[in-house]
Structure 1
Amino acid sequence: MKIYKKIVIAFLVFAAFACESELEFDPIDNLPGENALATEENIVSVLVGVYEEAGQDDSYGGQLQILVDLLGTTDQVIWNGTFVQPRQAFSKNFLVDNVWVRDVWGNAYEGINQTNLILERLDLVTSSEAERDRIEGEARFLRALFYFDLVRNFGLPYEFGEINDQPGVPIRNTGIIDYLVPLDAARNTVQEVYDLILSDAARAYDILPASNGFYADRYAAQALLARVYFQQGDYANARDAADDVLTNSGHALNDEFRQAFNNDTDSVEDIFAFQVTSQTGFNDLVVHYASEDDGGRGDDIAIEDGYLALFDDENDVRASFNYINPVNESRLTLKYTNQFGNIPTFRIAEMHLIRLESNFREGTSIGLDPLTEINALRARSLAAPLAGPLTEELIFNERQLELAFEGFLIHDIKRTERNVDDLPYNDPLLVFPIPQSEMDTNKLMMQNPGYGG
């Protein structure tokens, strides 16, 4: 699939949103653009390519999650590495030419463009209606996922019950093959982008099969809906979506916490994971979280005492799910020690956390009452049960214990309107800058406050 992408559609699809303003042709690339998308087989190949592209290091292969967690950290971890891009996230001092931020933006729009090209050519899928629905559903799931992480990282937070007309990101839902087509586009509002995300994810849920191998199925779409509603503060809908996944998907918690990570094949806990092998995909989380012996750089991201202080029970296995690098005595997480391990994107533990907090906020007990559910999750890690009553602070803390280093921190801080050091949740410095490459090539683009432009 990597060969297909590079030879057939790389210059057609990727160039439209690449960071470089000029395109260099290789003679082997001179294939007619429409021919690359002229058959059902080619459409399927392009779809597989979207998964592969999304799983690269400059997107869900690790750099996105690292930026999110370093931006949200106060005393949980420290950045010791030499790379300036994540250091800017750690110091809350992004520059507009940050290459990691640029590539998160560019990779997302590359993937969006490919899904647009697929969705515009569904009439080529004639083998069966079920196959056409599968292809459409996966494309819409991926497009919604890309837009969700674009809008919540490059736009100010969604405010439940408000108008949300703050600038989000451009909605580009027409596929581009001709790289000479102007790509100027203004930013849509945060509300408009969320509306598209919810529409795509709901359509994906309606038409995807209940099981789909390691590709997205209807419960991956429902898990995405649960996460989106949760981020919006729409807790009733978040609760119901998470409950559907927990009740009907067939996924369950692994018996042991450690079994949720470093897996070569998806575990029962994985609702959806990006696949990594020695031939495809990339696990940049290992590079920056692991020791040299485990394929990492040693101590780029080390655990600090502030994270360990969050635990209320020394027997909680999550508190000891780390190790000391003998080279430099840094404390490192055990979540990322297999450089070819799949990257969990939606796992069932998150759905439990969404359902219990949503029930708590809504005063309901759908599925389980919140105290029972949080204690069931803690029991998996041998943590003592909470006696109650539950509080928002206890629930927020439990999310950190369970989901640390998986790309949730800054978004939980924004959703619950907390500070990062002295920065309030809606401070523009907690938003990624629009990449300078986009500012230079899109005359309609408006920069985020605090970054000039």
Structure 2
Amino acid sequence: MKIKQFFTAGLGLFLLSSCSKSFLELTPQTGVSVANFFISEDDFTKAVTGAYRPLQNLYYDAYVMGEMRSDNTYYLYNTSNRGGQIVEKENINTFTDVATNSYVYNKYINCYDGIAKTNAVLQRIDGASISATTKSNLKGQAEFLRAFYYFELVQYFGGVPLHLKEVSTVAETALPRSSAADVYKQILADATDAAAMLPKTQTVKGQVTQGSAKMLLGYIYMTLKQYPDAERVLKDVTTLGYSLLPDYASVFDPTNKNNAESIFEVQYLQGTQGLQSNFAYQFAPGVTDTKNITGQTGNSQNLGDWNIPTADLIAAYEPGDKRKAASIADSYVNPAGATVAQPFVIKYLHPHAQFNNTNDNWPVYRYADALLLLAECLNEQGKAAEAVPYLNQVRARAGLAATTATAQTDLRTAIAKERRVELAFENHRWLDLVRTGQAIPVMTAYGAKQKAIRPYLTGNVYNVTENRLLFPIPQNELLINKLLTQNPGYL
């Protein structure tokens, strides 16, 4: 990992511009040094806020590994643009990625950037002269974030170096990989502490809460197949005041950020501060003028045509499912005024003021996700009858009839399908396939379909093996840290 990240972490490179405001603000403000920082309550608040900042970089292109690796989305092949970053996205989609892939590197270094920032806080906060209530809240946020970043790493890369204290020398930056089991042990410890320390609600919207930590724990336990523990924490989530919004589309509306269904979302802000999102443009068609699609004029030929919904996903929506129209457009109007029958994602397409500069947050955990994960957890324990009502809550909001599945196998299939359409384009599909043991058979079958209809797919594409369930450790990290080893199947 980059040595610079460890030396600068927690030093106020990204500070809270006004701690009295009601939304988490990540605007860069000023630089500080260790000598005059980590003293006051305000210092620690700013440092914890800084630990959220890598989430924006992490989720800017997280869909490449979370959605495009799966059978949910693909890309439009651009014969006139074969640049490196274009090809690297395509390679992740077709299972031909290598250790020099920049999107894999981005995932890795941004997680460690966040970890370094949380370590700087956690190493000092116990000895800080600040109120016990504030200390508990800030420490809980830092432990949640460290657990979250490590959970991202272990799911995508397996065992990784386990840095649990601030690095102060070059020698301390080089650690060997810990086992996945040891990483999970630390994640569970941090997330459990966070759940005990965090409040149920935060004054500053966007900060994580007790519900965020329990949702993270639910995912960890489900990944480890510790179903009784998962049931316990996910049932706790259902008691914390979350609710499904009546209208599915409103969940993602930027005017409705951090709503009653939101358990954890990454904060973005349109404007000139460098905090904006642009998912709508990456997912929209690549055209010479986006005015007819997004309402703003600009050329997106080298920007769009990513995360395109597959025919396979579109077919998964049942007739009358309200979520489809809120998530996918069947066509678009090109600059010449003609209708083009190409589907694209509109879940994150909302009114905004500038081309390629939007205000949409990214949903990480939602209450609908918690309900479906709990239904899956109960069903895996043979409690199908108890699982069904949680599944049906989500279906009812979508305008669908109650499920007819009752047997465990049928209900397992129904829950997986529901998760696919409910959480489409939110970076869950690939990890769901891996977690449930379906990645190899599902993606092998999907790959065969893709190769049959896309003539540009040649060579060893969609060779989905056990090795490809993890991504490669970035080559840059192997060169910097000689104690690292590569995942099997990658050079």
What TM-score results when the alignment is normalised by the length of structure 1?
0.84
Aligned partner of 2:324 among 319, 336, 340 = 319
Q: Is residue 486 of structure 2 the alignment partner of residue 447 of structure 1?
A: yes
Q: Is residue 187 of structure 2 the alignment partner of residue 186 of structure 1?
A: no
Contact kept, 8 Å, 1:186 with 1:444, in 2: the verdict is yes
Query: Matched residues in 2 for 1:12 and 1:35: separation?
Result: 15
Deviation per residue, 1:321-357 (Å, 9 max, x gap): 3112222532112211142111111100000001111
The Cα of 1:203 is off from its aligned counterpart by 0.2
Aligned match of 2:404? 387
Query: Matched residues in 2 for 1:15 and 1:441: separation?
Result: 22
Q: Is residue 280 of structure 2 the alignment partner of residue 286 of structure 1?
A: yes
Paired residue secondary structure (1:376): helix
Contact kept, 8 Å, 2:10 with 2:120, in 1: the verdict is no
Query: Matched residues in 1 for 2:31 and 2:411: separation?
Result: 61
Aligned match of 1:421? 444
Which of structures 1 and 2 has the larger relative contact order (alpha carbons within 8 angstroms, sep 6+)?
1
Q: 1:125 to 1:424 in 2, by over 3 A?
A: farther
The Cα of 1:10 is off from its aligned counterpart by 7.1
Paired residue secondary structure (1:37): coil
Amino acid at match of 2:198: L
The Cα of 1:287 is off from its aligned counterpart by 3.4
Query: Matched residues in 2 for 1:117 and 1:228: separation?
Result: 24
Deviation per residue, 1:203-237 (Å, 9 max, x gap): 00101111113201111101111111112222221
Aligned partner of 1:80 among 73, 76, 87 = 76
Q: How many residues are treated as equivalent by the alignment?
A: 411
The Cα of 1:275 is off from its aligned counterpart by 1.2
Contact kept, 8 Å, 1:119 with 1:139, in 2: the verdict is yes
Query: Matched residues in 2 for 1:30 and 1:272: separation?
Result: 28
Deviation per residue, 1:348-370 (Å, 9 max, x gap): 000000111111111237xx822
Query: Matched residues in 2 for 1:237 and 1:86: separation?
Result: 37
Q: Is residue 372 of structure 2 the alignment partner of residue 353 of structure 1?
A: yes
Contact kept, 8 Å, 1:93 with 1:429, in 2: the verdict is no
Q: 1:34 to 1:433 in 2, by over 3 A?
A: farther
Q: Is residue 46 of structure 2 the alignment partner of residue 45 of structure 1?
A: yes
Pairs within 5 Å for 1:400-415: 400-415=420-435
Aligned partner of 1:117 among 109, 120, 124 = 120
Query: Matched residues in 2 for 1:306 and 1:29: separation?
Result: 49
Taking only aligned residues, the RMSD between alpha carbons, in angstroms, comes to 2.5
Deviation per residue, 1:240-283 (Å, 9 max, x gap): 21111112x11100101111113242111001111111235343
Aligned match of 2:308? 302
Query: Matched residues in 2 for 1:217 and 1:15: separation?
Result: 21
The Cα of 1:428 is off from its aligned counterpart by 1.2
Paired residue secondary structure (1:271): strand
Aligned match of 2:164? 173
Contact kept, 8 Å, 2:280 with 2:345, in 1: the verdict is no
Q: Is residue 108 of structure 2 the alignment partner of residue 108 of structure 1?
A: no
Aligned match of 1:433? 472
Deviation per residue, 1:145-183 (Å, 9 max, x gap): 00001000002xxxxxxxxxxxx11101111245x3441
Aligned match of 1:90? 93
Q: 1:93 to 1:282 in 2, by over 3 A?
A: farther
Paired residue secondary structure (2:316): coil
Paired residue secondary structure (2:444): coil
Query: Matched residues in 1 for 2:185 and 2:314: separation?
Result: 39
Aligned partner of 1:231 among 203, 223, 226 = 223
Q: Give the stretch that moved more between structures: 328-337 or 107-116.
A: 328-337
Q: Give the stretch that moved more between structures: 238-247 or 419-428.
A: 419-428
Q: 1:29 to 1:443 in 2, by over 3 A?
A: farther
Paired residue secondary structure (1:400): helix
Q: Report % sequence identity.
A: 26
Query: Matched residues in 2 for 1:238 and 1:414: separation?
Result: 18
Deviation per residue, 1:280-310 (Å, 9 max, x gap): 5343533322353437744222222111111
Contact kept, 8 Å, 1:270 with 1:344, in 2: the verdict is yes
Query: Matched residues in 1 for 2:248 and 2:138: separation?
Result: 33
Query: Matched residues in 1 for 2:102 and 2:264: separation?
Result: 27
Contact kept, 8 Å, 1:53 with 1:107, in 2: the verdict is yes
Query: Matched residues in 2 for 1:425 and 1:240: separation?
Result: 34
Aligned partner of 2:394 among 362, 374, 377 = 377
Aligned match of 2:453? none
Q: 1:39 to 1:401 in 2, by over 3 A?
A: same
Unmatched tracts of structure 2, length 5 or more: 12-28, 335-339, 351-357, 446-461
Contact kept, 8 Å, 1:266 with 1:273, in 2: the verdict is yes
Paired residue secondary structure (1:319): helix
Q: Is residue 245 of structure 2 the alignment partner of residue 254 of structure 1?
A: yes
Paired residue secondary structure (2:149): helix
Q: 1:78 to 1:281 in 2, by over 3 A?
A: same
Aligned partner of 2:214 among 213, 222, 236 = 222
The Cα of 1:195 is off from its aligned counterpart by 0.7
Aligned match of 1:20? none
Amino acid at match of 1:430: L
Amino acid at match of 2:313: Y
